[in-house]
Structure 1
């Protein structure tokens, strides 16, 4: 490290440094400013795009009616074109309409597509739970049990236990159903859900 005896030597040293390295520093500053500007532009574009997708989702789902197939198709197309949270939500909205009209195959397919559009664990859990219930209505107990295995998180334990019990009972496995509901009753479930599962266990007797 150089030691300077007075301020003049320090100033001369700085001058020499900038004379030798000024161009490189200037280029670095320009690149840094350009990168910051580019990032801000990208962030602004992302925000604008998200707002546009949100507005389109609200508009399409508000107009959706079961007796107007073209509105269902519009929301379904939106879901196919948006591999994000809004696409997953749109798939759930369309699936609900199909369930209400007893088109369970279409509802299940819609939910399966929605699963691919989100990485959010809670949203995936909700979709899987709805899908398992539909599969149960379709007498596909094994498929429902497999779907339930995809639900992660302690917060869903009771609901999973309730559906799992129904699936096992539909297969004739009363002990399995009892074990599932018992686990649900012992979990941190709502009082109403605990009472319902307890009643189901009592009915097994």
Structure 2
């Protein structure tokens, strides 16, 4: 998946993707954001973390290739052996490969494992949002709503509202979906993301 240079670019691309693919967006939204956050965390921990662990993390994640199971196994072992930010980021990267391969159960397991290894609220938010989208794809709306409760911080309001609305709509709760998306529209989010949510509200009314 392409990693965008800034959040505006990423959200613009997501909007175009939504217009073309509709509900396929439920897994795709946020992956670029997660990758960007992961890179920033890796960068910020270079000085404070072990150089050896840092080098090992870079090696296993750079080698990740879904067509080569050995690289996935190596990343999984690294994540299991490192109960720290590097281990969490390895789980995040590995989960992406599993998502790309449509192995959603394995992706969810990696995200849940990563959540145990970090106390950082922003990184936890990324992991929980990815997990919620996987649960949505697996038709588990109640699990989605539970997972979203673990996402903290006003900066995530619109993205949480997007996923919550999709989960509620899948349960037949049209009013709940509309209320969730309206909350996202009223939040301090990028205009393009608000426009995407408005499109979903308009589709309900139509």
Structure 1 residue 99 and structure 2 residue 99: aligned? yes
Any gaps of 5 or more consecutive residues in structure 1?
1-46
After the TM superposition, which parts of structure 1 deviate over 4 Å for at least 4 consecutive aligned residues? Answer: none
| TM-fit CA distance, 1:50 | 1.3
In the alignment, which residue of structure 2 is the partner of 1:202? 202
TM-score when scaled to structure 1? 0.76
Between the two proteins, the alignment pairs up a number of residues equal to: 159
C-alpha separation between the residues in 2 aligned to 1:155 and 1:186?
Answer: 13
Quote the residue 2:85 is aligned against: 85
| Higher radius of gyration, 1 or 2 | 1
Q: Distance in 2 between matches of 1:137 and 1:119?
A: 27
The residue number in structure 1 matching 2:64 is: 64
* Match of residue 177 from structure 2: 177
Q: Which has the higher helix share?
A: 1
- Shift in Å, 1:48: 8.6
Does the C-alpha gap of structure 1 residues 65 and 187 become closer, same or farther in structure 2, counting only changes over 3 Å? same
Q: Which has the bigger relative contact order, CA under 8 A and spacing at least 6? A: 2
Q: Equivalents in 2 of 1:138, 1:102: separation in Å?
A: 11
Distance (Å, rounded) in 2 between the aligned partners of 1:104 and 1:48: 33
Distance 1:163 1:113 in 2: 22
Counterpart residue number, 1:123: 123
* Distance (Å, rounded) in 2 between the aligned partners of 1:172 and 1:51: 51
Work out the CA distance in 2 between the residues paired with 1:170 and 1:48. 44
Q: Report the alpha carbon displacement of residue 95 of structure 1 after superposing the two structures with TM.
A: 0.5
The whole-number CA distance in structure 1 between the counterparts of 2:152 and 2:49 is 30
> What is the deviation of 1:147?
0.2
Which ranges of structure 2 fall in alignment gaps of 5 or more residues?
A: 1-46
Displacement of 1:49 after TM fit?
6.3
TM-score normalised by structure 2 residue count:
0.76
